């Protein structure tokens, strides 16, 4: 008589867990898949047909896309696009797995110094003095002109130019800085000691900080309040609250440049050149 193959207790346990999982309703299995990583979901789709169908559910990949997009500010969450199928039910028409894969690939290549695509357009008729990128807004500046470019809409064809708003300057500008949380663009006119504040997207004027002496360096503090730090050629350091122009901190020293600034509840830390 042929003997039956030996089945270990561990194998029995794995089979029991598998059959127990297969007996769960679709909605509960879907909840379980929500807790997995994208890599684990791709592994699970090779187990059986039922798990493959669950792993392709659009809501799973929309959840992955939403979680990943929230790790950085520059990717807006997309609304769910629906259409009626043959049975009259509303069906999600966006391929969320493809969207997530594209976003993940883009960020991975960017971190490794390999951009996913490049797009070239002529931004100004004159040389660009400085530029700054925040979220989906790129601000470029010549000596007397500011332009805020809207990069939220993908460019499909070579030579296509994104939408922009423009503002003319009365003086030659030196620096551009952005407070992302405040949605504020700081334009520094170093020679006359003035910092003008503009709305980042519309370039509407929001106010002026008068430093009263030529400016050597400007930076935005790396904290949630995003105070602005100004260093003059005379070695004077001032920390401003841009919402009302209040001077929060002032000191005088021999250095003339501040590389980065961190503001804590009780003290200020400068990284100096």
Residue 145: both structure tokens together: 């002109």
Which residues of the chain fall below pLDDT 50?
A: 1-8, 15-16, 72-82, 256-268, 272
Residue 114: both structure tokens together: 């390999």
pLDDT at res. 149: 92
**For the whole model, what pTM was predicted?**
0.57
pLDDT digits 0-9 by tens, 20-68: 566 778 888 888 888 888 888 888 888 888 888 888 888 888 888 888 7
Going from the N-terminus, what domains does the chain have, and what CATH number goes with each? Answer: 9-82+89-111 (1.20.1280.50), 130-272 (2.130.10.10)
pLDDT at res. 27: 82
Q: What number of other Cβ atoms are within 10 A of residue 137's Cβ?
A: 21
pLDDT digits 0-9 by tens, 157-177: 777 888 899 999 888 888 898
pLDDT at res. 145: 92
Which residue blocks in the chain are alpha helix, DSSP H?
Answer: 9-22, 26-34, 38-44, 49-55, 58-69, 96-111
pLDDT at res. 3: 47
pLDDT at res. 18: 54
Q: What are phi and psi of 202, to 5 degrees?
A: -100, -15
DSSP secondary structure string for all residues of 108-168: HHHHTT--S--------SS---EEEEETTEEEEE-SSEEEEEE-SSPP-STT----EEEEE
């Amino acid at each position: 008589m042929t003997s039956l193959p030996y089945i270990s207790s561990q194998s029995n346990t794995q089979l029991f867990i598998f059959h127990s999982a297969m007996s769960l309703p679709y909605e509960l299995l879907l909840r379980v898949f929500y807790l997995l990583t994208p890599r684990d979901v791709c592994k699970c789709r090779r187990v059986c047909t039922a798990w493959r169908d669950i792993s392709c559910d659009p809501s799973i990949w929309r959840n992955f896309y939403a979680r990943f997009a929230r790790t950085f500010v520059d990717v807006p969450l997309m609304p769910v696009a629906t259409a009626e199928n043959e049975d009259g039910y509303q069906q999600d028409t966006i391929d969320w797995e493809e969207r997530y894969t594209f976003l993940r690939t883009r960020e991975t290549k960017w971190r490794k110094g390999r951009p996913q695509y490049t797009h070239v357009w002529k931004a100004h008729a004159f040389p660009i003095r400085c530029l700054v990128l925040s979220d989906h807004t790129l601000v470029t500046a010549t000596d007397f002109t500011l332009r805020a470019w809207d990069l939220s809409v993908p460019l499909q064809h070579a030579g296509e130019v994104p939408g922009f708003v423009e503002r003319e300057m009365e003086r030659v500008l030196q620096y551009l800085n952005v407070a992302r949380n405040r949605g504020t663009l700081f334009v520094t006119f170093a020679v006359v000691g003035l910092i003008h504040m503009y709305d980042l997207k519309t370039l509407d004027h929001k106010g002026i900080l008068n430093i009263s002496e030529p400016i050597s360096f400007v930076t935005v503090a790396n904290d949630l309040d995003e105070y602005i730090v100004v260093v003059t050629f005379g070695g004077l350091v001032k920390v401003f609250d841009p919402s009302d122009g209040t001077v929060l901190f002032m000191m005088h020293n021999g250095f003339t440049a501040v590389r980065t600034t961190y503001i804590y509840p009780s003290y200020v830390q400068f990284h100096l050149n």
